[in-house]
């Protein structure tokens, strides 16, 4: 999370999206979650949240740029504040304005990054003094993607998402995110994943890579276990993958449980690929890998 502005009663946070450079689903756990093996990378596509501490009144969430997102208790921002308000006996309330740019249900952790921003804002505005360990623990109760956002911005993520190890693979490349007009529920994606189709070999290990070339070569030996399932269900994803490869992408992969696809480029992609995506009626975003601020 990137804190843009802070006063005694207000905080503005830029909340980044993430991609999965690879993602293996290793099996279902006794607690109902799935173990994963993944490399997460934060990218420069942001939601912007302004949190204002109020002495009285009711919690209020307003949302711009995304008319289909409801500002009610189904939103992770509202759920997160309600949980923290109850747990820490918080007096007063919160007004949140969310400028939403990360696509919904797209495999980019848009809801998760907003929830982590809420945890951090409440901790700071009410001076709760929670440690990073405390904040990570709270975040894991809300969702498995959340602990990553307390990392350096690039991390190996295992367990159900609670084991986060910072990594230092090259980041000097450009990413073209492509978000078709589909929304894929994470729960439904997991339910449609036949575990027999996932790897029975040991989890993929990405060796040390000194250059982007090395990184791409090694990543091409890995995969996203959801991609094969979604390519069968949604033909448009195959068209996107073929188009990005045709127009210069070094590698194309699905992020998370989908349906966003991304291509890795050495330099800005050509106008041809942008025209191709416009013809497919896909939203697209040109982004870069980012580093997140260190937090104790």
Give the C-alpha separation, 150 to 131, whole Å.
11
Q: Which of 12, 18, 156, 241 is catalytic?
A: 18
Nearest by Cα to 99 from 4, 6, 215:
4
3 state SS of 185: coil
- CA distances in angstroms from 291 to 21, 123, 166, 245, 287, listed in the order given: 15, 22, 11, 27, 13
DSSP-derived letter for residue 293 is P
Give the C-alpha separation, 272 to 278, whole Å.
10
How large is the angle between the packed helices 110-125 and 132-142, nearest 10 degrees?
Answer: 140
Nearest by Cα to 212 from 177, 252, 256, 264:
264
Left (φ > 0), alpha (ψ -120 to 50) or beta: where does 275 sit? alpha
Catalytic residue status for 145: yes
Q: Which of 47, 100, 114, 145 is catalytic?
A: 145
Nearest by Cα to 159 from 33, 18, 41:
33
Catalytic residue status for 89: no
Give the C-alpha separation, 247 to 276, whole Å.
9
- CA distances in angstroms from 26 to 2, 30, 221, 248, listed in the order given: 32, 13, 17, 32
Query: Known catalytic residues?
Result: 18, 145
């Amino acid at each position: 999370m990137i804190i843009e502005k802070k006063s005694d009663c207000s905080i503005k946070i830029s909340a980044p999206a993430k991609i999965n450079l690879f993602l293996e689903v290793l099996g279902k756990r006794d607690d109902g979650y799935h173990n994963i093996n993944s490399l997460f990378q934060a990218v420069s596509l942001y939601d912007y949240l302004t949190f204002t501490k109020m002495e009285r009144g009711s919690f209020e969430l307003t949302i711009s740029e995304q008319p289909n997102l409801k500002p009610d208790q189904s939103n992770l921002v509202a759920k997160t504040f309600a949980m923290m308000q109850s747990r820490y006996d918080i007096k007063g309330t919160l007004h949140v304005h969310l400028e939403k740019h990360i696509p919904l249900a797209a495999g980019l952790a848009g809801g998760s990054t907003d929830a982590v921003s809420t945890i951090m804002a409440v901790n700071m505005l009410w001076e709760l003094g929670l440690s990073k360990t405390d904040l990570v623990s709270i975040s894991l109760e809300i969702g498995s993607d959340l602990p990553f956002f307390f990392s350096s911005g690039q991390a190996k993520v295992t367990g159900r998402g609670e084991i986060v190890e910072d990594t230092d693979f090259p980041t000097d490349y450009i990413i073209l995110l492509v978000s078709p007009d589909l929304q894929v529920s994470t729960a439904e994606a997991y339910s449609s994943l036949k575990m027999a189709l996932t790897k029975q070999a040991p989890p993929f290990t990405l060796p040390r890579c000194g250059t982007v070339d090395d990184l791409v070569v090694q990543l091409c030996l890995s995969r996203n276990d959801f991609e094969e399932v979604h390519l069968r269900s949604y033909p448009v994803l195959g068209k996107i993958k073929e188009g990005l490869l045709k127009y210069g992408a070094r590698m194309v992969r699905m992020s998370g449980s989908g349906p966003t696809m991304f291509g890795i480029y050495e330099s800005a992609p050509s106008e041809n690929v942008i025209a191709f995506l416009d013809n497919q009626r896909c939203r697209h975003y040109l982004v870069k890998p980012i580093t997140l601020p260190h937090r104790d």
